[in-house]
Structure 1
Amino acid sequence: MKKWLFPVVLVTTLVACSASNESKQQANDTYQKSDAALPLFAPLNTAGVNLPKQDTTYQLPQVKLKKADQVDIRPPETPLAIIQNSIAQFDGQRALIAYPLEKSAVYNLQQVARLLKEQGIGYQLTNDKMTTDWAPTGRSDEIGDTQVRYEIEQVSSGNYSALFVSILQMKRDEVVFSPNLADKQRYSSDRLNQLVGELDAAYRKQVRELNNSGLMPIQSTLGKDSNGRTALILGAPFNHAWTKLGQVLPQLEFDIKDDMMGRGVRELKYSPAGAKSWWWPFGRTEGDTGLKKGTYFMQLSALGRQSAVVMTDDEGNALSGAQSQAVYQALQNLLAK
């Protein structure tokens, strides 16, 4: 038992010591490893027969090639212009991406802070500049435990905004070192691509969920909002209710003139199309039970996991009586489909 146990342990130790992450970063093809001379074959014995000479037309030239150093096969890391109408580059110290100002609601330091928090990376945020704690690079081809401290900055000028990522410090296996230009380009660009890519994916997922949720029916009931006004209480959160109402209001002949989602307000223009409106309770007549042609407003407010919608006239007065009952009943019927 003892005679063969030692050789097995020795072989296992040698194999473990020979494993290295360098093979993940450098070329490992036959050319780079072909230091040994090519085999030489002796000519065949012709037994006195004169064989024709080989045609040299397609013969490769015999030249001596100098073996090069192992090549780093990792693709060059450059900032990617993932955002539409954006420009990305590395200026020698920082990786940056500039994009239209209206897209800064999605790509900003607050969203970056949310991502870092989800990844368990600490940071200090001061005005428009963020400094992270030591963070892993997230790359699978690293040699040793490589960590980086990043500086992330947002700048706005004119109609454009920009995110900058630069390297403050680097350390490998707890040894701090000064990164060279290639390191700065690789790691700053890689982190910027990662952040922007994740923000873009989260935004697209949110839009897709909103579009899909807008098709789901919403159960509702008449009630009162926080101000005591007659309202339609919807069993759906704000975003879902906002999307669904935008789909059903035109079916009630409300033309949406202005859309202010941040305030939860839509400006509506009501114009009944005569005989086509006979089947809407509030479109039959312009009396106590009918809704007059004109401008109206829809106010949507969040109530936890529910929301409340209030219809008002152009003076801000909530609809009441038979008018509100008819409008809310029609909305209730369409929202439930």
Structure 2
Amino acid sequence: MSKANGRVRAARLTLGVITMAVLAACSSPQERKTANRGFDYTEAKLENRAFLIPSGLQSPGFTSEYDVPALPDASRQGPVADKVDVRPPAQLLTVVPGSQIVQGGSEPTVSFYALTTSQDVSADTWRFLQSFLTKNGASVEKQDAAAGTLETGWFSNSAALDGWAEDDDDFQIRQRYLFTLKRDDVRHGVNLSARVLQHEEDIDGAKSTSIGEVEARRYAVRLLNQFSLYYEEQLKARDMHRATGSMGLELGNDNNDLSAWIADAPFEQVWLRMKNLLPRYGFEIKDSQQSLGWIDVEYDDPGQSFWDKNGMTPFKLEEGKYRFQLGEMGGGKTSITLFDEDKKPVKSEVVSQMHTTLSQAFAKALDNQ
């Protein structure tokens, strides 16, 4: 259930990024960071009028207990008026399943964890990071895999770094970044942080190379968010590729000791394979819930000519409504249990007979079926 909640949460966060991009597309970066009211208050002065006592009245007693002390000069430092950034703080997004935000660090940091026992999350993160930088026109200037550091060359990518949908001709930035990757072998994960090394910006012809700590962190957070979205895309693409290729299927028992088919692949890959495979063998998908692992179908025998054409034995399964229940077995394996319309497990002999045909189907790539 926790994995399912993570997938829903990731979808909502991704939708939030897209929504913010659409809402902000009609304003410039400078307008988004500046308050949209006047700044006349900066010219306001405190009036020290004398306390007038009408003639004939006695002067009251005075106390200095509630006098407002004068502000020290040090308190007058910092941005004011149009120099104040009114945007909400940038927030790291955990769009990759199982990822976490590392709190309290000097640099924004995201943890990525292995989703299967066979995944080398460190190698994946390095590979995805390099391809992400290439996609955004950023070269790798220095890289030390042993130290876990990577420095980029200068690259211009206002859209990705500003976090919005389109480039703005009046707002251009060039930056260099330092990425630091630290392995966490105990928890089978890696911590990835980002920091701005150098910054150049051009706003309406006004050029600057200075950047404050808060603004630098904002850019680093947004770049990490963009990378996280790319990381998730790469995982999905790889799962889809694996789900459509050859996959082992054995006859066994699920975690409830019911007759089942055991697929030699993680849950997400088997889920994708089942969604693609079932309609090809007479199962019309009526409903499904990935977070709970079930697929409701209605079976209609495709006919003897279909089985003869594919060189397979027909299912000894009565036409009707069924439910395929997927479950994680551990060790990168997934169970598939079949229930009838009354939610009762299908007889073991039927499951065993169907295994012959299903195992042949799983052994083939989907493109060859």
Query: Structure 2 length normalisation: TM-score?
Result: 0.45
Which structure's relative contact order is higher, taking Cα pairs within 8 Å and 6+ residues apart? 2
Higher alpha-carbon Rg:
1
> Which structure has greater helix proportion?
2
Query: Structure 1 length normalisation: TM-score?
Result: 0.49
